[in-house]
């Protein structure tokens, strides 16, 4: 699978979700979402985290940048959809481990998944709040014990990426960072209606229903200007 550097951030350019999923399965990758904000505000630490793993175009800004680099057929792959694509594809053949969110949220996520996919094997799960290093060590030992094929971690960046890298040192698997996707899946947080998503205007919908996000969306405008000035 081909990739390009966007402000030093290595971002893969999958032509389809299947291509990205198969690449992750074959390489036991850590999947990291890349969007305009992560590209624009990339730091030495954030670049290193993404570049060690498999950064994919989660937002339309990353897609624009890849297309400007010559990848005409690249597909936008929202992380809140990708993890469910993986579940849909492998729920009968692979095992899963879920980490993240509040206890109620992760419990509701597991309950809904088991209702939706009657044959899914979720070998264990836990919330995303760690008070001590001992809790992290206990988690790693539990992962080693259960040997899941796919691990989803919903804690927000960079915490989730650092935790995934830590666990992967002891257990090779496919990992994906999900941010707030458990909240979206369980209905606690409402995602934009399909028309806004399909029109690549999800960012605008978020700004309308949550005006406090306007400062973040100004960064998208800055990104667009920098992109057209060939600064990436």
- Percent of the chain residues past pLDDT 70, beyond the cut: 88
Distance CA 56, CA 75 (A): 10
Distance CA 176, CA 154 (A): 8
Higher per-residue pLDDT: 190 or 87: 87
The two three-digit tokens of residue 208, written as one number: 């309308």
pLDDT (0 to 100) of residue 232: 76
Please choose, from the candidates 62, 57, 58, the residue with its C-alpha nearest in 3D space to the C-alpha of residue 7. 62
Cis peptide leading into residue 158 (ω within 30°): yes
Find the helix or strand (DSSP H, E) in which 174 lies: strand 174-177
Residue 206 has pLDDT above 70, yes or no: no
Distance CA 62, CA 75 (A): 10
pLDDT (0 to 100) of residue 192: 59
* Domain layout of the chain by residue ranges: 1-77+192-232, 95-175
Please choose, from the candidates 159, 152, 139, 141, the residue with its C-alpha nearest in 3D space to the C-alpha of residue 113. 152
Backbone angles phi, psi at 165, to 5 degrees: -65, -40
Higher per-residue pLDDT: 24 or 206: 24
Contact 128, 154 (CB under 8 A): yes
pLDDT (0 to 100) of residue 191: 62
Please choose, from the candidates 55, 31, 38, the residue with its C-alpha nearest in 3D space to the C-alpha of residue 164. 31
Distance CA 179, CA 37 (A): 14
pLDDT digits (tens, 9 = 90+) for 111-140: 999 999 999 999 999 999 999 999 999 999
pLDDT digits (tens, 9 = 90+) for 32-46: 999 998 999 999 999
Find the helix or strand (DSSP H, E) in which 11 lies: strand 9-12
Residue 165 has pLDDT above 60, yes or no: yes
Place of tokens 């992967």: 168
pLDDT (0 to 100) of residue 13: 97
The two three-digit tokens of residue 50, written as one number: 């993404």
Give 11's strand partners. 4
pLDDT digits (tens, 9 = 90+) for 70-85: 999 999 999 999 999 9
Higher per-residue pLDDT: 13 or 209: 13
pLDDT digits (tens, 9 = 90+) for 133-160: 999 999 999 999 999 999 999 999 999 9
Rounded mean pLDDT of 54-65?
Answer: 94
Residue 231 has pLDDT above 80, yes or no: no
pLDDT (0 to 100) of residue 223: 82
Contact 134, 121 (CB under 8 A): no
- How many degrees, rounded to 5, is the angle at CA 199 between CA 15 and CA 54? 35
Chain centroid to CA 209: 23
pLDDT (0 to 100) of residue 188: 75
The two three-digit tokens of residue 35, written as one number: 């969007």
Contact 143, 122 (CB under 8 A): no
CATH architecture of the region 95-175: 3-Layer(aba) Sandwich (3.40)
Contact 58, 38 (CB under 8 A): no
pLDDT (0 to 100) of residue 204: 57
Mean pLDDT taken over the chain: 91
């Amino acid at each position: 699978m081909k990739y390009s550097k966007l402000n030093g951030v290595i971002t893969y350019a999958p032509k389809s979700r299947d291509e990205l999923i198969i690449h992750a399965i074959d390489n036991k990758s850590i999947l990291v979402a890349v969007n305009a904000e992560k590209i624009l505000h990339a730091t030495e630490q954030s670049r290193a985290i993404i570049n060690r793993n498999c950064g994919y175009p989660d937002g339309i800004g990353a897609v624009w940048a890849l297309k400007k680099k010559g990848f005409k057929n690249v597909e936008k792959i929202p992380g809140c959809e990708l993890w469910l694509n993986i579940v849909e594809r492998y729920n009968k053949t692979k095992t899963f481990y879920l980490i993240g969110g509040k206890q109620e949220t992760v419990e509701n996520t597991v309950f809904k998944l088991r209702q939706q996919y009657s044959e899914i094997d979720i070998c264990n799960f836990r919330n995303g709040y760690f008070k001590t290093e001992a809790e992290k060590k206990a988690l790693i030992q539990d992962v080693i014990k259960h040997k899941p094929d796919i691990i989803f971690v919903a804690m927000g960046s960079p915490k989730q990426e650092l935790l995934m890298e830590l666990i992967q040192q002891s257990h090779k698997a496919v990992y994906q960072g999900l941010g707030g996707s458990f909240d979206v899946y369980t209905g606690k947080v409402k995602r934009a209606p399909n028309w806004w998503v399909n029109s690549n205007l999800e960012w605008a919908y978020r700004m309308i229903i949550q005006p406090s996000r306007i400062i973040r969306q100004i960064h998208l405008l800055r990104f667009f200007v920098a992109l057209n000035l060939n600064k990436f």
